[in-house]
């Protein structure tokens, strides 16, 4: 609670006491009207003077439909028709409501801001043998920064000394710590957990990851969602509309029916007190802000409320294959031995390939997983475009494609699996083959299923890879469509074609690694870049950035987006609904003025609390949206 809040609170308390005293006195004594007026005046002026003053100032500036003016008009109206306690009560409730609202909004804003705060406060630098804490902004490239356990890495850099594990949760949402050692890169914003690290700064503070992320998220609330803009525009018309309604209600019925003027004025005043659109104007941006904050906690950076809104309406999700759906690196996916066992076959292959640095050789050595005794291998040679040949334990091992087998007169056969097939022959005899392929990411199929459950109508894959490989991956993951053998410019064309196939409000999201698909990211309604941690180009190009390379982040992002939009819509319906009900009840003389104020304030506070839910994302609720 800040000083302003405290001042208001004291005023409310004292004014309430004066009000209660006046109320009791009035009930005991049967006073004439003007004495009653005097009795309630101290409480009214104490609580209302700031409103009256602001109303006067605003009118002098030509701002008529301002909530201060409306409250002033409503309460003065009440005083004029002799409803003194009503006037004080309305002013009191209004002030209590404003206080509540302001306090709740401030608290909410602070907690969301804290959620996103990964700003490192200081950097430790060694000066004359002493450790000094300095502002990270003053650290120059090449300086050595010392990061102790429990501290945040202040700048992006390279570890020069020490080993430790880092908590990257603030950046990626990943709770598993990452181990780092000498020569490895560390990113600012990570928290050092175990050992002391000496880090050489590679980037200035302003260009380091933490600053860039903060910048991005802070700017996100500048880009407003359609719903937000709608509410702002709506608010501009709502107030004048209700005030004119009040005027008509006060004048027409008494003129037509010749009824009681003060009764109808009283009803009109109810219109005035609920004419402020505050609940809506505050809770909608707060919902989006909360959603963006909650997403950033999960390693999903959203560059604006508009993108969050678009993502909630996603209809088509287009994926790039390599690096997005698949790991983008080769590995052994199957071993089909003949005559020998799997291990033996892998051993022959790995040993024969041991001198090669070809990606296929590397994946074989990785699958073999044991140190290679170079003494067992002699006469190794690479046969370009075919494979390798070597003597392993004195046996002649041939390892490569079908062409190599044919040339050496070895009988071999095709494999039914898709990928690069590496055949192995020992001393002229066929021993089987090993299938090497780019592996799909572990949770890719599950994510595609989740997307389907969440109502994504089409999942599409675009790839430059061969039709055979592309179709196999698409089938394995359960994608609806796959377009293969595309050049980068073809991808843009395909996305444009798909954009034409959207229906209704449906949006198209493109998911890529952000490295060579910037034009496609820009063309899609929502460009999502994956595994962007440390990749400036991807962060620049995309609308939504997944900090790590886990596909499940997309499902998380869509869930958060849908939840945020749901909350925003709930708030609109709820706030407008309550206002409509009280407008009707007021017009028919069922509701009293202070009940209307109470309802109005209640709506604001409940809408703010509801908006705060968008910040929290639990995995439990993530199974179904």
Task: Return residues touching another protein (CB under 8 A).
Answer: 2, 4, 54, 57, 61, 63, 67, 102, 105-106, 109, 112, 218, 221-222, 232, 235, 276-278, 281-282, 285-286, 289
Long-range contacts of 385-388 (CB under 8 A, 24+ apart): 387/422, 387/423, 388/352, 388/353, 388/355, 388/356, 388/361
- Which helix (DSSP H) or strand (DSSP E) does residue 147 occupy? strand 144-147
Question: Cβ 61 to another protein, closest distance in Å?
Answer: 6
- Our CB check for another protein shows the closer of 388 and 561 to be 561
Question: Cβ 518 to another protein, closest distance in Å?
Answer: 24
Cα-Cα end-to-end distance for the chain: 36
- Our CB check for another protein shows the closer of 63 and 619 to be 63
- Our CB check for another protein shows the closer of 109 and 198 to be 109
- Which helix (DSSP H) or strand (DSSP E) does residue 361 occupy? helix 359-368
Taking the C-alpha atoms of residue 318 and residue 313, their distance in angstroms, rounded to an integer, is 14
Report the largest interatomic distance among the alpha carbons of the chain, rounded to a whole angstrom.
121
Taking the C-alpha atoms of residue 128 and residue 568, their distance in angstroms, rounded to an integer, is 56
Helix/strand/coil for 98: helix
The radius of gyration of the chain from alpha carbons, rounded to an integer in Å, stands at: 35
- Our CB check for another protein shows the closer of 116 and 482 to be 116
Question: Cβ 492 to another protein, closest distance in Å?
Answer: 30
Strands 185-186 and 157-161, bridge-based pairing: antiparallel
User: Quick check: 533 and 187 in contact, CB under 8 A?
Assistant: yes
Six token digits for residue 406: 């044919």
Question: Cβ 269 to another protein, closest distance in Å?
Answer: 21
Q: Which of 320, 465, 513, 600 is catalytic?
A: 320
CA torsion sign for 417, 423, 425, 429 is positive
> How crowded is residue 429: how many other Cβ atoms within 10 Å of its Cβ?
12
For the CA atoms of 402, 406, 407, 408, what is the dihedral angle to 10 degrees? 110
Measuring CA to CA, how many Å separate 440 from each of 363, 433, 475, 509, 513?
A: 15, 21, 12, 20, 14
Question: Cβ 276 to another protein, closest distance in Å?
Answer: 8
> How crowded is residue 79: how many other Cβ atoms within 10 Å of its Cβ?
16
- Our CB check for another protein shows the closer of 112 and 265 to be 112
- Our CB check for another protein shows the closer of 28 and 61 to be 61
- Our CB check for another protein shows the closer of 284 and 508 to be 284
What lies within 8 Å, CB to CB, of 504 at 6+ separation is 315
Query: Is 320 assigned a catalytic role?
Result: yes
Question: Cβ 580 to another protein, closest distance in Å?
Answer: 19
User: Quick check: 320 and 464 in contact, CB under 8 A?
Assistant: no
Helical segments of 369-464, H only? 402-407, 444-453
Strands 377-383 and 395-400, bridge-based pairing: unpaired
Question: Cβ 615 to another protein, closest distance in Å?
Answer: 12
Question: Cβ 545 to another protein, closest distance in Å?
Answer: 19
- Our CB check for another protein shows the closer of 106 and 378 to be 106
* Edge-to-edge strands, sheet with 178-180: 178-180, 164-167, 191-192
Q: Which residues are catalytic?
A: 320
């Amino acid at each position: 609670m800040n000083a302003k809040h405290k001042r208001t609170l004291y005023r409310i308390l004292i004014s309430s006491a004066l009000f209660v005293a006046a109320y009791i006195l009035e009930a005991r004594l049967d006073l004439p009207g003007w004495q009653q007026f005097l009795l309630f005046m101290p409480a009214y002026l104490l609580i209302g003077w700031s409103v009256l003053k602001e109303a006067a100032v605003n009118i002098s500036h030509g701002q008529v439909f301002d909530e201060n003016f409306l409250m002033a008009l409503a309460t003065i109206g009440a005083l004029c028709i002799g409803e003194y306690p009503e006037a004080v009560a309305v002013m009191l409730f209004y002030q209590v409501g404003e206080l509540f609202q302001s306090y709740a909004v401030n608290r909410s804003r602070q907690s969301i801001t804290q959620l996103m705060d990964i700003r490192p406060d200081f950097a430790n630098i060694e000066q004359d043998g002493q450790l000094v804490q300095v502002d990270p902004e003053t650290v120059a490239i090449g300086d050595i920064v010392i990061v102790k356990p429990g501290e945040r890495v202040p700048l992006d850099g390279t570890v020069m000394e020490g080993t430790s594990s880092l908590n990257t949760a603030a950046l990626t949402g990943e709770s598993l710590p990452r181990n780092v050692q000498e020569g490895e890169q560390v990113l600012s914003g990570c928290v050092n957990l175990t050992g002391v690290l000496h880090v050489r700064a590679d980037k200035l503070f302003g260009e380091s990851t933490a600053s860039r992320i903060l910048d991005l998220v802070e700017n996100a609330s500048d880009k407003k969602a359609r719903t937000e803009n709608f509410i702002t525009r709506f608010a501009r018309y709502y107030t004048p509309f209700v005030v004119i309604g009040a005027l008509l209600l006060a004048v027409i019925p008494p003129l037509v029916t010749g009824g009681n003027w003060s009764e109808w004025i009283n009803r009109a005043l109810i219109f005035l007190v609920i004419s402020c659109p505050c609940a809506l104007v505050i809770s909608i941006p707060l919902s989006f802000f909360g959603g963006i904050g909650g997403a950033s906690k999960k390693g999903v950076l959203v560059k604006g409320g508009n993108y969050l809104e678009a993502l909630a309406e996603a209809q088509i999700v287009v994926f790039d294959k390599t690096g997005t759906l698949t790991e983008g690196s080769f590995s052994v996916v199957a071993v089909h031995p003949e005559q020998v066992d799997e291990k033996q076959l892998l051993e022959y292959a790995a040993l024969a390939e041991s001198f090669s640095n070809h990606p296929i050789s590397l994946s074989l050595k990785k699958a073999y997983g044991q140190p290679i005794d170079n003494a067992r291998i002699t006469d190794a040679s690479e046969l370009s475009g075919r494979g390798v040949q070597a003597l392993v334990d004195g046996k002649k091992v041939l390892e490569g494609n079908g062409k190599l087998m044919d040339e050496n007169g070895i009988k071999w056969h095709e494999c039914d699996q898709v990928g690069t097939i590496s055949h192995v022959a020992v001393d002229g005899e066929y021993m089987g083959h090993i299938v090497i392929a780019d592996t799909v990411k572990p949770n890719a199929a599950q994510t595609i299923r989740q997307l389907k459950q969440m109502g994504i109508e089409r999942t599409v894959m675009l790839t430059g890879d061969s039709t055979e490989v592309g179709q196999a991956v698409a089938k394995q993951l359960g994608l609806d469509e796959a377009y293969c053998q595309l050049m980068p410019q073809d991808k843009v064309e395909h996305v444009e074609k798909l954009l034409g196939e959207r229906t209704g409000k449906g949006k198209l999201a493109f998911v890529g690694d952000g490295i060579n698909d910037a034009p496609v990211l820009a063309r899609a309604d929502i460009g999502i870049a994956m595994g962007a941690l440390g990749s400036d180009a991807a962060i620049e190009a995309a609308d939504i950035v997944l900090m790590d390379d886990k596909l499940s982040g997309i499902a998380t992002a869509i869930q958060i987006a849908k939840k945020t939009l749901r909350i925003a819509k709930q708030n609109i319906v709820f706030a407008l609904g309550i206002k409509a009900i009280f407008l009707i009840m007021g017009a028919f003389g069922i509701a009293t003025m202070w009940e209307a104020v109470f309802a109005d304030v209640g709506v604001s506070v409940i809408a703010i609390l509801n908006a705060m839910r968008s910040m929290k994302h639990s995995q439990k609720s993530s199974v179904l949206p």
